[in-house]
Chains A and B, each alone.
Chain A
């Protein structure tokens, strides 16, 4: 039994769930590798959960079988945290699904499917066009995914820009970015409100947008995508649209990433290796603790 290893496990649990998100969120340089950075975020989250759930039982077990009360307490602590996670998962999951299913019903009710290609609009089963002059473009993820555009979007965007927007939304749906965000949302809400890091949640949102932008870049190149972003942002009507990433700061950040799209991407392998190390940290500490 190594007390140092047990202490390290506790520090890891607390550090990864409260401190790490706040330290990682401001490192904007990582946005240039959104996929690898999201992997690091996911690894850190996984490691935080594992360390948090196992720290108390490992410590109590290490103290020996002379203290059955200690072991019971440890199981209670871990059980409480597991329960908190499950409750958060349930709340976020059911809330999101109810919201989206309601939203999808609504969209299906007022916008006819566009199975046949219209002018400048490729065919797509899940495509819906709202009859509204303000521009909007978003997707409704899930079992029957939808991409929703408005008449205002079709009016304002040229064919190439429209292709970029559709490629972006299709990337969200195909890669199930909603599930990635749902995981972070569950963990975010499982942590006590006082130590939650709002910047972290906002950063992973931006990373997901940057990832979808990368897909769109492959399809149309940078200029149509950037033009579409600015047009959608500029003409957006305040009480009508809350499309993907409509805050100016977020759109600005995405434009900067698009401008730097063909710059060499560094840190990719460093991020990958760090991710694996972070995941391996908990099992390693448990092994060192002498179990």
Chain B
């Protein structure tokens, strides 16, 4: 099923999924074997693992003549890191300020305030 991969992003995802499921500490050959139904060249898997290491998404240790690759972060950690918006993050100062605002703002009184504002929208438009 070679058509299942439309780009490098899909390949990287498949390789990371393999590392998460069967890692840590897989060699290129082991990853290649796990992905055998995808009909990929060995060198392709090697290139993808190398790219992922350069992006700090995997870590690697030498064992004899082969590298052993492990995920640098768990899937849960990466998901939590991706929960934050990109549009607002103009620079680190802005982000920190927004975060401080946010932490300071999460109070029941203010939620009640928003509910009142929502009730006003519903009153006017329902």
Q: A residues touching B (Cβ–Cβ < 8 Å)?
A: 92, 95-96, 99-100, 103-112, 130-132, 134, 136, 138-141, 148, 150, 172, 177-178, 181, 185, 189, 198, 201, 205, 221-223, 226-227, 229-230, 233-234, 236, 238-249, 251-252, 255-256, 258-259, 261-262
Contacts and interface: CB of A to CB of B under 8 A. Distances in A.
B102 A109 contact: no
B78 A246 contact: no
A256 B99 CA distance: 23
B126 interface: yes
DSSP majority for the A interface? helix
A238 B86 contact: no
A157 to B, nearest CB: 14
- Closest 5 CB pairs between A and B? A138-B85, A255-B117, A226-B121, A248-B105, A108-B9
A106 B78 contact: yes
Contact of B13 (A112, A177, A226): A112
Contacts of B126: 223
Interface string B112-126: 011101101110111
A178 B111 CA distance: 29
A248 B9 contact: no
Contacts of B37: none
B70 to A, nearest CB: 15
A92 B92 CA distance: 11
B55 interface: yes
A139 B110 CA distance: 26
A181 B16 contact: no
A241 B95 CA distance: 12
B87 A246 contact: no
B38 to A, nearest CB: 15
B90 interface: yes
A139 B12 CA distance: 22
Contact of B85 (A177, A223, A242, A258): A242
A259 B13 contact: no
Nearest to B6: A113
Contacts of A95: 91
A189 to B, nearest CB: 8
Given A105-B55, A109-B57, 12 more contacts: A100-B86, A105-B12, A112-B13, A132-B83, A134-B83, A138-B87, A138-B88, A238-B106, A242-B83, A242-B102, A244-B88, A255-B121
